[in-house]
């Protein structure tokens, strides 16, 4: 195990009928709130009304900032920052999934500085000040509700960059599984894939060969994500399935599993970000295509770990051969297909002719994220495994 510092201060309020607590929790930070949200879904299912009522009951003044889209855009974040500055906002309230929460974090970091918020993403400036953030989560996927990470896409440059700072951990996140009852099957499945990808990035990129506590925790989460995702797909109103999936997605990226792993990387996310920046595909759909090919690449590098994965998660018979590592990858790929996720670039309508271009476009993020082993040739090779 590697040395680590762990200090996750997000307060989690988990369960049915908890959304109306958002007013009380947000009021602790001020009265002037910027409410960040997405498109119409929370209007339709009544969550927006519940949140507005709860905030108003606490006497809060609300400035609306709706319209966040998936693969959230820098231009929309900048508009939010303008509003927050103009209205002297004291607390940001995010109601949505990862895209909404990430946009809210970028607004939180960008409001208290004079320079453009994009400089945080390119590493030219570091985050030192922030506006407090409270969240109501409506999608089990990104884990942004309990960490300091954020991903935003630069509209013109087609760069989907991520950065983070523990200052941006939400102060409070309300996780109500019933808020995800109306999430369509496709996005339920994409969310599960996203969380599995988060776990596998940690599981396979740690350079510490001995992390038994973290390994068992991560393997248990993957098994539970698969089980709860299937429950949620079979019956979108299965409370237990939705609750388990929601909590697992949070745990996949809240720092608990990563504590002790040392330096880890996000190579799959790096490649997927290029795909979704140029094709605006859902993040989870891009990941389900990249993940099996990247795992095959990792199998060559670390067959022992891949065998452990295959044995413990898919009960593939225990041996140390490459063949069995491949069986584990096949099991995961088959499961992606079973839950309706794409596993080829073709399904995403991305031509194999684009591969050299996409590999090259991934390089700036590879550099910023210090993925030293990933040059254009290697990224091309992985993408060719996705055809």
Residue 15 binds its own copies (CB under 8 A): yes
Name the minimum Å distance from CB 9 to its own copies: 5
Among the listed residues 4, 338, 351, 384, the single contact to its own copies using CB under 8 A = 4
20 binds its own copies, rule: CB under 8 A: no
Residue 12 lies near its own copies (rule: CB under 8 A): yes
Q: Which of 14, 20, 165, 368 binds its own copies (CB under 8 A)?
A: 14
For residue 334, give the nearest of 351, 312, 307, 314 by alpha carbon: 314
Stretch that binds its own copies, among 14-22, 76-84, 269-277, 299-307 (CB under 8 A): 14-22
What does residue 319 show for φ and ψ, rounded to 5 degrees?
-145, -175
Minimum distance between the CB of residue 264 and its own copies, rounded to whole angstroms? 16
* Nearer to its own copies among residue 331 and residue 376 (C-beta): 331
330-342: burial string, b at 16+ Cβ within 10 Å, e else = ebbbebbeebebb
What token pair was written down for 312? 């413990």
Interface with its own copies (CB under 8 A), residue from 67, 162, 217, 331: 217
Q: DSSP for 112-133?
A: T-SS-THHHHTTSS-------E
Give the single-character DSSP code of 157: T
By CB under 8 A, residue 228 contacts its own copies: yes
For helices 185-205 and 267-279, give the axis angle rounded to 10 degrees.
140
Residue from 219, 347, 354, 380 touching its own copies (CB under 8 A): that is 219
- Backbone phi, psi, residue 154, to 5°: -80, 115
The token pair at 214 is 């973290």
Question: Could you say whether residue 243 binds its own copies (CB under 8 A)?
Answer: yes
Work out whether 354 is an interface residue with its own copies (CB under 8 A). Answer: no
Q: Which is nearer to its own copies, 59 or 212 (CB)?
A: 212
Strands 159-164 and 149-154, how do they pair?
A: antiparallel
Q: Compute the least distance from the CB of residue 333 to its own copies, in Å.
A: 23
**By CB under 8 A, is residue 248 in contact with its own copies?**
yes
> How far is the CA of 49 from the CAs of 34, 171, 181, 251, in angstroms?
15, 22, 17, 28
Q: Does 352 bind its own copies (CB under 8 A)?
A: no
By beta-carbon proximity to its own copies, the closer residue of 82 and 227 is 227
- Closer CB to its own copies, 85 or 166, in the complex: 166
Q: Is 28 in the site for its own copies (CB under 8 A)?
A: no
What are the structure tokens assigned to 294, written together? 């990247």
181 scored as a contact of its own copies (CB under 8 A): no
CA-to-CA distance for 227 and 224, rounded, in angstroms?
5
What are phi and psi for residue 92, nearest 5 degrees?
A: -105, 130
| CB neighbourhood size of 347 (10 A) | 14
Q: Is 212 in the site for its own copies (CB under 8 A)?
A: yes
Smallest distance, its own copies to C-beta of residue 203, A = 14
Give the footprint of its own copies on this chain (CB under 8 A): 1-16, 18, 210, 212-213, 216-217, 219-221, 223-224, 227-228, 240, 243-244, 247-248, 251, 256, 259-260
């Amino acid at each position: 195990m590697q040395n680590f510092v762990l200090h996750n201060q997000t307060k989690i309020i988990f369960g049915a009928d908890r959304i109306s607590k958002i007013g009380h929790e947000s009021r602790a930070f001020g009265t002037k709130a910027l409410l960040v949200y997405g498109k119409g879904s929370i209007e339709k299912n009544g969550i927006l009304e519940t949140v507005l009522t709860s905030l108003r009951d606490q006497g809060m003044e609300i400035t609306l900032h709706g319209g966040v889209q998936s693969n959230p855009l820098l231009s929309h974040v900048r508009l939010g920052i303008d509003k927050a500055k103009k209205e002297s906002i004291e607390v940001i309230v995010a109601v949505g999934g990862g895209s909404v929460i990430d946009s809210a974090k970028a607004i939180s970091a960008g409001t208290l500085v004079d320079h453009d918020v994009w400089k945080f993403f390119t590493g030219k400036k570091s985050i030192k000040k922030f506006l407090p953030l409270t969240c109501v989560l409506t999608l089990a996927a990104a884990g942004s509700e309990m960490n300091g990470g954020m991903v935003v896409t630069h509209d013109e440059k087609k760069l989907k960059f991520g950065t983070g700072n523990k200052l941006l951990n939400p102060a409070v996140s309300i996780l109500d599984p019933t808020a995800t009852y109306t999430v369509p099957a496709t996005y339920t499945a994409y969310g599960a894939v996203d969380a599995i990808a988060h776990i596998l990035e940690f599981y396979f990129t740690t350079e510490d060969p001995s992390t038994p506590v973290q390994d068992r925790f991560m393997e248990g989460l993957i098994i539970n994500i698969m089980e709860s995702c299937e429950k949620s797909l079979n019956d979108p109103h299965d409370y237990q399935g939705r609750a388990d999936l929601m909590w697992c997605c949070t745990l996949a990226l809240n720092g608990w599993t990563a504590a002790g792993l040392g330096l880890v990387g996000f190579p799959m996310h790096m490649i997927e970000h290029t795909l979704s920046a140029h094709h605006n595909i859902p993040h989870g759909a891009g990941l389900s295509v990249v993940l099996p090919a990247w795992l095959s690449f990792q199998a060559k590098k670390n067959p022992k770990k891949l065998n452990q994965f295959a044995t413990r998660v898919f009960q593939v018979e225990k041996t140390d051969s490459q063949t069995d590592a491949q069986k584990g990858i096949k099991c995961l790929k088959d499961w992606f297909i079973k839950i309706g996720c794409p596993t080829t670039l073709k399904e995403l309508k991305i031509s194999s002719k684009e591969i050299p271009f996409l590999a090259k476009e991934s390089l700036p993020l590879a550099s910023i994220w210090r993925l030293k082993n990933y040059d254009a040739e290697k990224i091309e090779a992985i993408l060719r495994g996705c055809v």
